[in-house]
Amino acid sequence: MSLINQPTISTNGIVRPTLVEVELGRLKENFTAICQHVAPAKVMPILKANAYGHGLVPVAQWMESLGADYIGVAVLEEGILLREQGIQTPILVLGGILGNQVPGFLKHNLTITASSAEKLCQIEEAAEQLGVRARVHLKIDTGMERVGVHYYSAESFLETALKCRHIDLEGIYSHFANADELDLTHARLQLERFLEVLSFYEKRSLPPPPLRHMANSPAILQLPEATFDLVRPGLLFYGVYPSREMPRTVAVQPALSWKSRVVYFKVIQPGHPVGYGSAWQTDHMVRAVTVPVGYGDGYFRNMSGKAQVLLRGKRYPVVGRISMDQVVVNIEWDSAYNDDEVVLIGEMGGEAITCQDLADWAGTIPYEILTNINTRVPRIYI
Ligand SMILES: Cc1ncc(COP(=O)(O)O)c(C=O)c1O
């Protein structure tokens, strides 16, 4: 399968040399590895923010073809786009909602996160008016203070949910604030609080909603007791570990490579500074190449002076400030030619530059690197 994600910029079918390659086979392997690790629990891959930069629609199509039980996105518009593109798999929208968005959820058969009794009532009313049933997951805040009903006042929320006649209560969930730390004290406290909330059903001899869930990627890796009926991997599904320290209890491999090509070759004389701010210069003559990628593509400017790329199987430093659309790479006295492939994230000749490397250079996390690769960078699926 080879297709190009929209929107993209192409001239007569020739795509920009700076592009992202997504290996769908790796997404499949990662998904399978996570499914095996958490079985019999189900797996809901998280496809928000353009599927963590991998391309929302093609990744959703791929997951649907692989028979995923559920897909998670963050906002209503992501869900609607998927429905408009023909995706039929159940889709949970994870984010907080406004009352006026509820009809949009119902018309597109999207599962709603209800994060207060008031929102439950708005959903119930809208479903009754439209003559449909609403699919709902209840959101419990166990220690994140973002959206959700606090664990200590969840009882009346759960009572209200039981009374709704136009709602199918499919799930109940919570989210970890710091399951990615090695000290899991707070995560375990959150888990205890969630279990306490769930005991509501046992105390009343009622079945709980069929999908109880809490685990994101770090919890899948290091808190197996938080697996419940379903897990919600984002980063791990794309083959990236949340940090260098995280135990690698599930083997995954990155599905995304970010590549470009040499568009210019030159020799730089000593004392001739490179780029904006003249921030770098050489004290000896070097060869350098220009690569058409920059912070306008999501190649962060604050990686200037730190970033490296792979070219002809070797690592070379990006020198001078990263511009909006271009960077300069110092190859000292090695050879390179126009059109040579340059790897920004990925493997070449036994060397690899990872998303975590870029995150370290930029002083951020891999999540931010992936989700910031701009849509002007075409995505190619292999
Ligand atoms: C509610 C929720 N669940 C799951 C995820 C996936 O997280 P991760 O990428 O760490 O697996 C996110 C992402 O932030 C989220 O907000």
Check residue 14 and give its pLDDT. Answer: 72
pLDDT exceeds 60 at position 6: no
Position 11 confidence tier, pLDDT thresholds 50, 70, 90: low
Query: 92 in ligand 1 pocket by Cβ < 6 Å?
Result: no
From the alpha carbon of 48, which atom of ligand 1 is closest?
13
**Residues 279-333 pLDDT 10s:** 999 999 999 999 999 999 999 999 999 999 999 999 999 999 999 999 999 999 9
Mean pLDDT within 203-213:
97
Query: 234 in ligand 1 pocket by Cβ < 6 Å?
Result: yes
Query: Which of 30, 38, 46 is the best mutation target for the ligand 1 pocket, counting ligand atoms within 8 Å of the beta carbon and taking the most?
Result: 46
pLDDT exceeds 90 at position 174: yes
Q: Which amino acid is at 159?
A: E
- Supply the DSSP symbol for 144: -
Residue written as tokens 């069929």? 210
Query: 208 in ligand 1 pocket by Cβ < 6 Å?
Result: no
Q: Tell me the C-alpha to C-alpha distance, in Å, between residue 298 and each of 56, 87, 244, 257, 380.
A: 17, 28, 22, 14, 17
Check residue 5 and give its pLDDT. Answer: 46
- 261 forms beta bridges with 341
Find the distance separating the first CA and the last CA of the chain, reported in whole Å. Answer: 6
Position 3 confidence tier, pLDDT thresholds 50, 70, 90: very low
Check residue 7 and give its pLDDT. Answer: 46
Name the token pair of 291.
């690569």
Q: Which amino acid is at 282?
A: T
Name the token pair of 317.
């430093």
User: 359 alpha carbon to ligand 1 midpoint, in Å?
Assistant: 18
Position 118 confidence tier, pLDDT thresholds 50, 70, 90: very high
Share of the chain above pLDDT 90, in %: 96
User: 251 alpha carbon to ligand 1 midpoint, in Å?
Assistant: 19
Q: Which residues are catalytic?
A: 48, 276
Check residue 10 and give its pLDDT. Answer: 55
SS3 content of the chain, % helix, strand, coil (to 5): 35, 25, 40
159: nearest Cα among 113, 104, 206: 206
**Residues 48-70 pLDDT 10s:** 999 999 999 999 999 999 999 99
Check residue 15 and give its pLDDT. Answer: 80
Measured CA to CA, the distance from residue 29 to residue 255 in angstroms comes to 10
Check residue 1 and give its pLDDT. Answer: 41
